[in-house]
């Protein structure tokens, strides 16, 4: 495949244009001519939840060391390249139709299935809410309440063959809905992958909601992955296929630029991105800069997974 290499995919936010990078939602609304009060009505509407069980009881085991990010910031400052490369694409993402939504589970499984996202979640059992930090490779961060089910439940449900070593996740492909997918230099559809051992860890979640409501489209409706110890690009949105495989998947960003966006992508302040520092991160909302933490602060849960890998390798290769 011929990929036309663009010099600046994944523009770090400090190089991005002012309006996409620094305006908060109120400023954006004001710039568009909406008053603060009037603005409330045009918030991305959280349509009737097709997926039941939201809101879900919070699991108290997952505590934060920082404030929860204001909802407006987490739902209007988003990365979803299918709808464009700016952060304020929440309006464009309204075109996505997350219900009904077919998810295919295939590859090295007992039986290939195609199932609606709401039925899949119902099969996986009760949903729960967890407060997690999220760290984008571009050095912005947030802390949000996600609703979903632990990914290990999906693994059990899928009954993978003993030889399956990886999970490969794929986002929908429909350039009529997602104009970013017309940009041919990107290897659409968006793909991500993790190992089976990572999938069986307690942290990964298959997420259906945020702030106690169904996921707004721009945050990855109706179903996304959340991997809080890895750079945010691994947390793939709007999943349409989950494949169990013995071959390591090549993820979307890895396929574009493996030296900048590796397969493992574990958050690590000791290794800078080739084009910017990873030592600190900027919190959405307050704008405060805080130190980056190894594994985004989740070393206790995940460090064992990488015990025999040199640190640099567990970031890139």
Ligand X SMILES: Nc1nc2c(c(=O)[nH]1)N[C@H]1C(S)=C(S)[C@@H](COP(=O)(O)O)O[C@H]1N2
Q: Is 188 within 8 Å of 181 (Cβ atoms)? A: yes
CB of 226 to Mo ion, least distance (A): 12
Based on CB atoms, which residue is closest to Mo ion, 118 or 296?
296
Based on CB atoms, which residue is closest to Mo ion, 107 or 232?
232
Output the six-digit token pair for 292.
Answer: 């980056």
Residues 6 or more apart in contact with residue 232 via CB below 8 angstroms: 79, 134, 135, 136, 137
Q: Binding partner of residue 171 among ligand X, Mo ion, none, CB under 5 to 8 Å per kind?
A: ligand X
Q: Binding partner of residue 172 among ligand X, Mo ion, none, CB under 5 to 8 Å per kind?
A: none
The alpha helices in 216-282, defined as continuous H runs, are: 252-257
CB of 177 to ligand X, least distance (A): 12
Q: Which residues bind ligand X (CB under 6 A)?
A: 78-82, 134, 136, 171, 190, 219-220, 232-233, 235-238
User: CB 152: neighbour CB atoms within 10 A?
Assistant: 17
Q: Is 227 within 8 Å of 204 (Cβ atoms)? A: yes
Q: Binding partner of residue 292 among ligand X, Mo ion, none, CB under 5 to 8 Å per kind?
A: none
CB of 287 to Mo ion, least distance (A): 18
CB of 232 to ligand X, least distance (A): 3
SS3 200: coil
Q: Which residues bind Mo ion (CB under 5 A)?
A: 79, 136, 232-233
Q: Is 180 within 8 Å of 239 (Cβ atoms)? A: no
Buried b (16+ CB within 10 A) or exposed e, 93-127: beebebeebebebbbbbeeeeebbbbebbeebeeb
User: CB 151: neighbour CB atoms within 10 A?
Assistant: 25
Based on CB atoms, which residue is closest to ligand X, 128 or 281?
281
Based on CB atoms, which residue is closest to ligand X, 144 or 155?
144
Q: Please tell me the distance from the alpha carbon of residue 280 to that of residue 171, in angstroms, as a whole number.
A: 30
CB of 231 to Mo ion, least distance (A): 6
Based on CB atoms, which residue is closest to ligand X, 135 or 306?
135
Q: Which residue is nearest to ligand X (CB)?
A: 232
Q: Binding partner of residue 219 among ligand X, Mo ion, none, CB under 5 to 8 Å per kind?
A: ligand X
Q: Binding partner of residue 235 among Mo ion, ligand X, none, CB under 5 to 8 Å per kind?
A: ligand X
Q: Binding partner of residue 285 among ligand X, Mo ion, none, CB under 5 to 8 Å per kind?
A: none
């Amino acid at each position: 495949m011929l990929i036309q290499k663009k010099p600046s995919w994944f523009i770090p936010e400090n190089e991005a244009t002012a309006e996409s990078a620094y305006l908060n939602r109120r400023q954006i609304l004001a710039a568009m001519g909406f008053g603060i009060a009037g603005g409330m009505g045009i918030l991305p509407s959280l349509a009737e939840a097709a997926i039941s069980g939201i809101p879900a009881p919070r699991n108290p085991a997952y505590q934060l060391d920082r404030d929860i990010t204001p909802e407006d910031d987490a739902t209007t400052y988003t990365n979803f390249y299918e709808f464009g490369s700016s952060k304020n694409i929440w309006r464009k993402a309204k075109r996505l139709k997350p219900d009904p939504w077919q998810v295919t589970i295939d590859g090295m499984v007992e039986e290939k299935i195609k199932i609606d996202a709401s039925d899949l979640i119902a099969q996986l059992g009760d949903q729960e809410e967890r407060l997690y930090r999220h760290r984008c490779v571009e050095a912005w961060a947030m802390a949000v309440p996600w609703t979903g089910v632990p990914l290990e439940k999906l693994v059990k449900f899928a009954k993978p063959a003993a030889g399956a070593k990886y999970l490969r996740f794929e986002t929908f492909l429909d350039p009529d809905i997602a104009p970013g997918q017309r940009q041919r230099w990107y290897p659409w559809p968006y793909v991500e992958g993790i190992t089976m051992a990572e999938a069986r860890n307690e942290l990964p979640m298959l997420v259906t909601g945020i702030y106690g409501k169904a996921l707004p489209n721009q945050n990855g409706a109706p179903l996304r992955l959340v991997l809080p110890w890895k750079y945010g690009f691994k947390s793939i949105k709007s999943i349409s296929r989950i494949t169990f495989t013995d071959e390591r998947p090549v993820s979307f960003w890895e396929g574009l630029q493996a030296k900048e966006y590796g397969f493992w992508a574990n958050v690590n302040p000791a290794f800078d991105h080739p084009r910017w520092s990873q030592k600190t991160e900027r919190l959405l909302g307050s704008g405060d800069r805080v130190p980056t933490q190894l594994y985004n602060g989740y070393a206790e849960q995940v460090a064992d997974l990488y015990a025999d890998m040199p640190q640099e390798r567990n970031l890139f290769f």
